[in-house]
Amino acid sequence: MDKKIEDIRKEIDKIDWLQYENEYIKTAEKLKNLFDKDKKVVLDATHKLWCSLCHQYAYVIHSALPAYDFLMYGLLNLDDYVKVEILDILRGFASCTNHHVYVATSWKYQLREKLRGDYTIFQKLSTHSDEDISGLANDICEALDNSLQNDENLEKLAIILENWVVDNHLQSKSILEFAWRDGEFKDILSNLGCIYQNAMVSYDMMSPRHKKNMKFDAILDAEGGTFLSGKSKDDYFSHIYDCLKIGAPILFIRQIYSKKNDLKSNEYIEKCEQENTKEAFEVVLSSTGFVVDKFTVHELEGEQYSHFMAIYAHKPNDQNIDKAKEASKVMLKQ
């Protein structure tokens, strides 16, 4: 190694980690242990880094950005058994920055650009004699390749979202996003001046903080209802209806639109797809109380599902709800 372990630890300590995380995560401590001489200490550090920085590839935290350079140094200089663990962490970074719309100033954008800047390193490692190293490096390359296509698709979604914000005068207004992934459109909504909050979709219907006395100026559903079926779907739409202020708009974006040539993953997905038609959405939205203002179908390139729906709706005043429902049904039948 070009640097002594002590020098690396000093560089880690120069970073103000509390700018990126709370005091309990302790990324600095784990990174320093990554360069320890004791194999057991090193493997414990890599496992804890994987758990905290990109847990189960579900999300990535802010301190991944300053940690990245130290992880890359370890990847290039440490033994192969450590390379495998570091690549697994970096695969999480690549996966978790693969499906979002970012503005150039966001830390996730910067993290993804760091990964792209090291693409040739991962490409070279994808031919490594160790199958674990080559496989993980290849996964990272594929994620980065896909992210380029995703960028184009997500930019299409971003334009839809920007127009919705502007048309409904939602700058400086509170918007709650429901999605399966954490903060799908956080960057672009915040950049537009919206007051952003998000709630992860779950089968037990959100956390308690979103259930009592919280009304929002607008709601964005980013594919939230797509993979719910039956009573779970009905409960979900009822819940988000209750979170919305009277007269406020809601946008259901990237709702998978069932087409005969779309791929089927399993029986549950197929059941959900049967409920993701224009007619099925009309039933559940109208029965919940929403008024549908516009329904559009869009195409995405290189996705498993090539078509998605954008559904523009609002929560009507109580005295106008019956009249609004009828107008909604007429619009959807057109």
The domain limits of the chain are: 5-148, 168-332
Average pLDDT score over the chain:
80
Highest mean pLDDT among 47-51, 257-261, 304-308: 47-51
User: In the CATH hierarchy, which top-level class contains the domain 168-332?
Assistant: alpha beta
Selecting from 3.40.1160.10, 3.40.190.170, 1.25.10.10, 3.30.70.890, what CATH number does the domain 5-148 have? Answer: 1.25.10.10
pLDDT-derived band at 333, boundaries 50, 70, 90:
low
Mean per-residue pLDDT, 81-102 = 88
Q: Which candidate, 40, 13, 300, places its Cα nearest to that of 156?
A: 300
Residue 306: pLDDT over 80:
no
pLDDT confidence of residue 131 = 96
- Distance, in Å, from the CA atom of 128 to the CA atom of 109, rounded to the nearest integer, reads 28
Mean per-residue pLDDT, 261-265 = 43
Residue 267: pLDDT over 60:
no
> Which is more confidently placed, 232 or 96?
96
Mean per-residue pLDDT, 49-58 = 88
Give the H or E element holding residue 200.
strand 195-200
- Distance, in Å, from the CA atom of 281 to the CA atom of 257, rounded to the nearest integer, reads 10
Per-residue pLDDT tens digits for 125-177: 999 999 999 999 999 999 888 766 666 667 777 888 899 999 999 999 999 98
> Which is more confidently placed, 85 or 197?
85
| Integer angstrom CA distances of residue 142 from 1, 94, 123, 138 | 29, 9, 10, 6
Q: What percent of the chain has pLDDT over 70?
A: 73
Q: What percent of the chain has pLDDT over 90?
A: 41
pLDDT confidence of residue 312 = 92
pLDDT confidence of residue 141 = 94
Mean per-residue pLDDT, 10-31 = 91
Mean per-residue pLDDT, 263-275 = 50
- Distance, in Å, from the CA atom of 205 to the CA atom of 224, rounded to the nearest integer, reads 11
The amino acid at residue 245 is K
pLDDT-derived band at 210, boundaries 50, 70, 90:
very low
pLDDT confidence of residue 218 = 96
User: Following DSSP, what letter does each residue of 125-191 receive, concatenated?
Assistant: HTT-SSHHHHHHHHHHHHHHHHHHHHHHHHHHHHHHHHHHHHHTT-TTSEEEEEESSTTTTHHHHHH
CB atoms under 10 Å from CB of 168, counted, come to 18
Residue 82: pLDDT over 70:
yes
Per-residue pLDDT tens digits for 275-301: 567 777 777 888 889 998 888 887 765
pLDDT confidence of residue 276 = 63
Tokens of 218: 């607008």
Coil vs helix vs strand at 315 = coil
User: Following DSSP, what letter does each residue of 93-108 receive, concatenated?
Assistant: HHHHTSS----TTSHH
- Distance, in Å, from the CA atom of 298 to the CA atom of 259, rounded to the nearest integer, reads 12
Mean per-residue pLDDT, 209-235 = 74
Residue 69: pLDDT over 80:
yes
Residue 98: pLDDT over 90:
no
pLDDT confidence of residue 77 = 93
